[in-house]
Structure 1
Amino acid sequence: METDKQSTANIVKRYMRYLKLERNYSENTIEAYRHDLHWLLDYLAANSLTPTEVRLEDLQHFAATIHERGMSAKTQARILSGVRVFYKFLNVDGFMDADPSELLESPRLPQHLPEYLTLEEVDRLEDSMDMSKAESQRNRAIIEVLFSCGLRVSELVNLKLSDIFFEEKFIRVLGKGSKERLVPISDKAIHELQLWFTDRCHLDIKRGEEDYVFLNRRGHHLTRTMILIMIKRQAEEAGIKKTISPHTLRHSFATALLKGGADLRVIQALLGHEDIGTTEIYTHIDTTMLRQEILDHHPRNRNRELK
């Protein structure tokens, strides 16, 4: 029988507090963890188990159950990742002597290589701007900062004037989990920003918005959706057929660094990835590019095409 201290409701309440205070997750992220955790809690209740009674075999059966529901491999992997975080918390916080999820395996995900743009395509994006429009210089600066600094779109919309250090050529970025990192900013991005600031001075900036770098015509800071729509529209104007988003420019930043010989750990730090495994996707992009170079340029392959 559960004690009050170890009741499921109390455990979940303390777990949510842990995600907020110790892991510094946003409300949206915490809510996503809560939603995914309920798959496990419903399974345990149906099998007359409490979270602290669980063994590896129970978690493996739970994994089989969500697979049988027809969930995608990505959804299954996300739920099981949350289960591991939950049991790590139970172990560290003293609810359990051992973590039963340590050997829990996730489904193998198909390798998906993210779309990216070449330097020439980024230039086409910027050059396709109609500079007679009031927002065009702002949009050029947005694209250049995304590409030059590898920012997430959420990081870009929250970028403040006080985060930019022009003389040192760095920007301060507040990433996931409110973790700060310093990222170098290129001379090109600085130039585009300074041109935008000339236009920005003429806006009627609303109270509380004064420190945001990127603003709309009404003086409010931009939203993620606004930037997504702008980039998709600009890609059409530039004749770029790839399906792109603000995140494509982040991928392009990482790919350009890897092609230039940057160390993977450096790229990890610049992107703000907590896990090096997340950054390793770019090694697959590079391998794919190398293979295509061989197919396109090696004399054996050219000779094969001539036959």
Structure 2
Amino acid sequence: MYLRLERSLSGNSVEAYLRDIDKLAQFLEFNQLPPDPGQVNLQQLKDFVAWINELGMTAASQARIISGIRAFYRYLLQENLVKQDPSELLEAPVRWRKLPDTLNLEEIERLIGAIDLSAPEGNRNRAMLETLYGSGLRVSELIHLKISEIYRDIEFIKVTGKGNKERLVPLSGESLKYIRFYVEATRSQLKIKPGNEDFLFLSRRGSKLSRVMVFMIIRDLAAKAGIQKKVSPHTFRHSFASHMVEGGADLRAVQEMLGHESITTTEIYTHLDSDYLRQIIVEYHPRS
């Protein structure tokens, strides 16, 4: 209840946290240690981390489990169920952050150009991709976008992100234009299923699109455009952020638009293009 009400976490996140605690309980039972969180010390937690490492878990998975254990002890301290937090000095394994795949502008135009606008779903797909790239939405935010949450007069949309947190995101003129084309020319012809009247993007059967359907649409368009990279809806979000930062946008503004809780998550987009770095060396290094 603490995770749901006070931390505003989703059902999936709550289940993940509970699985982390269950792993710790399994470790204590396996080593015949008291299943009392108040008796667990730092060394036992270090042994627990070594144990999950031996199970073959990646550094990213280990770090997430450690985060779950820390959250558990913060809760216990808050409720006065323990006197001290043994996880406070517990170190997470070093994680190498892989730069996300992005598309350059030419690739994005090729992919969008592969859309068959003469097909019934063409206007919808164009509007979807313009919105994904123009506003940097997650796929879950895209499929839950509602007509009532589009403020055309100020060119903003209200987006419900992770943890049911709402934010206002600017909507580009191109996105608005193709959303209007889709709503007036295609969506108005659909027989909409009850309960789906306010969702913007609908299937041919008149129901809200699924995440899988969006993935398949983008995958097929990438193949038609001859793009060899692994392209997903999230690729458009990464491209949006990278192009904004590379263009000189303020990092805090990009963080707000993406709905990142921490600025460190947004900082991954401050990487510089390798071709640009090579050009700098060629132009300015005396030995180049």
Asked if these proteins are the same fold (TM beyond 0.5), I'd say yes
- Tell me the distance in 2 between the aligned counterparts of 1:275 and 1:89: 21
Q: Of 220, 232, 236, which residue of structure 1 is paired with 2:207?
A: 220
Matching residue within 21, 24, 39 for 1:37: 21
Aligned CA distance change for structure 1 residues 217 and 162 (closer, same or farther; 3 Å): same
CA distance in 2, matches of 1:303, 1:229: 50
Deviations 1:215-239 (A, max 9, x none): 0001001000000010011011111
Gaps spanning 5+ residues in structure 2: where? none
Which one of the candidate residues 188, 196, 204 is aligned to 1:201? Answer: 188
SS at match of 1:201: helix
For the residues of structure 1 that align with 2:92 and 2:268, how far apart are their CA atoms?
A: 18
Aligned residue in 1 for 2:94: 108
> Deviation at 1:297?
6.6
The range that moved more, 47-56 or 223-232, is 47-56
SS of the aligned residue for 1:112 comes to coil
Deviation at 1:301, TM superposition (A): 9.6
Contact between 1:296 and 1:302, CA under 8 Å: does it hold in 2?
no
Contact kept in structure 1, 2:203 and 2:209, CA below 8 Å: yes
Matched, 1:294 2:242: no
In structure 2, the partner of 1:162 is 148
- In 2: Cα distance, 1:107 partner to 1:282 partner: 22
- Give the CA deviation at 1:299: 3.8
- Aligned Cα root-mean-square deviation (Å): 1.8
Q: Which runs of 5+ in 1 are unaligned?
A: 1-16
Q: How many residues align?
A: 285
Asked if 1 retains the 8 angstrom alpha-carbon contact of 2:133 and 2:239, the reply is yes
Structure 1 runs (4+) deviating above 3 angstroms are 296-305
1:76 equivalenced with 2:62 (yes/no): yes
| 1:237 alignment counterpart | 224
CA distance in 1, matches of 2:285, 2:215: 40
CA deviations 1:251-285 (Å, max 9, x no partner) are 011101101111222111111111222112112xx
The verdict on how the C-alpha distance between 1:280 and 1:299 changes in structure 2, with shifts beyond 3 A counting, is closer
Q: How far did residue 176 of structure 1 move? A: 0.6
Superposed counterparts of 1:82-121, under 5 Å: 82-121=68-107
CA distance in 2, matches of 1:37, 1:48: 14
CA pair 36-163 structure 1, distance change in 2 beyond 3 A: same
The C-alpha deviation readout for 1:49-74, integer Å capped at 9, x for no partner, is 41122222221111111112221112
Rate the CA distance shift 1:296–1:236 in 2: closer, same or farther, 3 A.
farther
Aligned to 2:52: 66
1:89-116 deviations in whole A, cap 9, x for unaligned? Answer: 1112221233221211111112201001
Percent pairwise identity = 46
* Matched residue type, 2:128: I
